[in-house]
Amino acid sequence: AVWRLAGIRDEVGRLRARGVTFEEYDFGPEGRTVGGILAEGETDLNAWFVDSEGNILALAEDAS
């Protein structure tokens, strides 16, 4: 599942404060996560975490 929102950095901080651990990924030349957030290009942002059932969930903030 993906939730699109504005203010992803704030939301990641709120979720971390509640105990959510964000995944760290290295996509090679396409980028890597920094502090759990992948910045694509200038402003697209993505963050992933795993729920208690093992599902990978995502937050996304579009450039526009």
What's residue 22's pLDDT? 95
User: What is the per-residue pLDDT across 4-61, written as a single tens digit (0 to 9) for each?
Assistant: 999 999 999 999 999 999 999 888 887 888 888 887 666 689 999 999 999 999 999 9
pTM of the shown model: 0.84
* Distance of alpha carbon 49 from alpha carbon 22, whole angstroms: 5
